[in-house]
């Protein structure tokens, strides 16, 4: 009994105000991976990269052509040799048209698993090269409020002057209901009081962090607008609905969960639904 109450008390203590550590990433070098094709075919990839990087101006942008028969080890060594601050590539690079609607593709997954370098995954079908790609709205999936300082900093860095940064967190409704079923089996606890209090505190944790993100970014980046929202619902369904509503130009999300394991659920669901949008994968 005491151990269960200690658990609930620890949950409440987590909900203390969490401050954002504002520390924008430094983009000294960017590595753009392109297929081994004529320059006319790869130029749009580099051009869209430069347009997205309009805000975080990189010192060096290097374009590296990859042959169709290159293996994962060679690509990994290439990344290690360049040691970039950001890797850019199209989805399903070197995989052909047949896999365009299958997530981010094998190369992106391999880079995520073997390197900590953030990845900007561009859609396979780029916008018309004569029409500048402008990032007006950035959607940041704040899946881990206790450990998303880097995500918010990266997302804000990609917001040009006048852009809007939308931050959103979802408390998993199914997990909450499983906790409540356990509480219902403890006769000493008032179920309704526990439900109301626990939900309030869980929501408050994320709201407190995102509120401080907004205040901090308003101080350091007054040239952009910050909006945030929190809800309790089914995670994948909720993020899909939210992104559909705000219609962003760039989606930012963590590819690793709180245990640093590959977070396939949310990433895969969003990648399959929003195939025409660039993703910044951290």
Tell whether the model's pLDDT for residue 203 goes beyond 70.
Answer: yes
Element (H, E) at 88: strand 86-90
Tell whether the model's pLDDT for residue 214 goes beyond 70.
Answer: yes
Return the higher-pLDDT residue of 195 and 137.
137
Strands 60-66 and 86-90: unpaired
Percent of the chain with pLDDT over 90: 26
Q: Which two tokens stand for residue 182?
A: 């356990």
Please report the pLDDT score of residue 2 as a whole number. Answer: 45
- Outline where 16-128 has alpha helix (H): 39-52, 72-82, 106-114
Q: Which of 15, 9, 13 is nearest to 207 (CA)?
A: 15
Strands 279-281 and 119-122: antiparallel
CA distance 132 to 147: 34
Tell whether the model's pLDDT for residue 23 goes beyond 70.
Answer: yes
Beta bridge partners of 262: 256
Percentage helix, strand, coil, to 5, in the chain? 45, 20, 35
pTM score of the predicted model: 0.83
Q: Which of 227, 31, 250, 44 is nearest to 154 (CA)?
A: 250
Please report the pLDDT score of residue 168 as a whole number. Answer: 94
Helix (H, G, I), strand (E, B) or coil at 2: helix
E strands present in 91-135: 119-122
The mean pLDDT of 220-241, rounded to a whole number, is 91
- pLDDT band with cut points at 50, 70 and 90 for residue 7: very low
Residue 169 phi/psi, 5-degree rounding, is -130, 140
Please report the pLDDT score of residue 263 as a whole number. Answer: 58
User: Which one-letter DSSP state was computed for residue 241?
Assistant: H
């Amino acid at each position: 009994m005491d151990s269960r109450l200690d658990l609930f008390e620890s949950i409440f203590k987590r909900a203390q105000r969490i401050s954002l550590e504002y520390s924008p990433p430094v983009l000294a070098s960017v590595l753009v991976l392109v297929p081994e094709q004529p320059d006319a075919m790869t130029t749009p990839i580099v051009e869209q990269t430069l347009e997205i990087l309009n805000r975080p101006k990189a010192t060096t942008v290097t374009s590296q052509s990859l042959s169709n028969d290159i293996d994962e080890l060679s690509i990994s060594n290439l990344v290690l040799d360049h040691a970039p601050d950001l890797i850019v590539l199209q989805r399903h690079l070197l995989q052909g048209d047949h896999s365009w609607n299958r997530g981010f593709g094998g190369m992106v997954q391999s880079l995520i698993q073997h390197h900590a370098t953030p990845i900007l995954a561009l859609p396979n079908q780029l916008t018309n090269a004569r029409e500048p790609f402008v990032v007006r709205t950035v959607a940041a999936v704040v899946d881990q409020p206790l450990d998303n300082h880097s995500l918010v900093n990266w997302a804000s860095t990609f917001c040009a002057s006048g852009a809007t940064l939308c931050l959103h967190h979802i408390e998993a409704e199914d997990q909450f209901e499983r906790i409540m079923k356990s509480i219902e089996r403890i006769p000493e606890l008032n179920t309704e009081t526990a439900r109301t209090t626990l939900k309030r505190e869980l929501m408050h944790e994320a709201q407190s962090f995102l509120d401080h993100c907004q205040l901090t970014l308003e101080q350091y980046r007054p040239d952009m607008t910050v909006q945030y929202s929190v809800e309790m619902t089914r995670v994948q369904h909720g993020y899909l609905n939210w992104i559909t509503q705000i219609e962003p130009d760039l989606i930012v999300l963590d590819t690793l969960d709180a245990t640093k394991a590959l977070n396939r659920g949310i990433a895969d669901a969003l990648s399959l639904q929003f195939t025409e949008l660039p993703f910044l994968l951290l």
